[in-house]
Amino acid sequence: MSLLDWIRGGTARDGADVNEIEVVRRITAALDQMDPDRARFLAAFAYLLGRVASADHAISDAETRAMERIVAEQGRLTPAQAVIVVQIAKTESLLFRGTEDFRVAQEFRQVATQDEKQALLRCLFAVSASDESVVVAEDNEIRRISMELRIPHADFIGARQQVREHLAVLKKTEPADG
């Protein structure tokens, strides 16, 4: 079962990989005290964070810690629950990159309020800037997500402005010796 199937409350397809079912069981157990709609919202939220963190094909320890902190705060989860949710979201984001990205964003767009979308946008930039460098791939991925969520461009620019000092494209580089 993909994360999107889980978000939508679906069931594993026939012949589903046993490891895949275990992933769903772990995330479900981590969120079993939560309202199912809130759990689906949080799963999509975490997936989108993982999508940005992995945009440069590497998720740093700083990005992981930022994701865990944000997921714990936004989901009102214990640190242990947040770790599980983030680890699963990171894995799912890497495994299903491209095939589920738009669909998960579309699902989030349908269930989130405008304020929640704005909060997600700020969190995406916070994760990206957690290692003190928002690389172009991450910046572009956040822009794609903001467009998929139909967040106005001015709001994207406003959130981006908050991490301006970490934008790699604006940092001065030293000339190479040679």
**pLDDT tens readout for residues 73-111:** 887 888 888 888 888 888 877 777 777 888 889 989 998
- When pLDDT is averaged across residues 2-12 and rounded to a whole number, the result is 48
- Taking each helix axis from N to C end, the angle separating 114-129 and 136-148, rounded to the nearest 10 degrees, works out to 170
Structure confidence at residue 46 (pLDDT): 87
Structure confidence at residue 168 (pLDDT): 82
Predicted TM-score (pTM) of this structure: 0.77
Q: What are the backbone dihedrals phi and psi of residue 134, each rounded to the nearest 5 degrees, phi first?
A: -90, 100
Q: How far apart are CA 35 and CA 121, in angstroms?
A: 23
Q: How far apart are CA 60 and CA 105, in angstroms?
A: 23
Select from 129, 116, 113, 118 the least CA-distant residue to 164. Answer: 129
Structure confidence at residue 144 (pLDDT): 96
Cβ neighbours for 122, distance < 8 A, ≥ 6 positions apart: 159, 162
Structure confidence at residue 27 (pLDDT): 57
List pLDDT tens digits, range 116-166.
Answer: 999 999 999 999 999 898 999 999 999 999 999 999 999 999 999 999 899
Q: How far apart are CA 147 and CA 152, in angstroms?
A: 8
Cα atoms found within 13 Å of the Cα of residue 156, Cβ hemisphere only: 15
Domain boundaries, the chain: 3-9+17-170
Question: What's the CATH architecture for 3-9+17-170?
Answer: Orthogonal Bundle (1.10)
- When pLDDT is averaged across residues 51-64 and rounded to a whole number, the result is 90
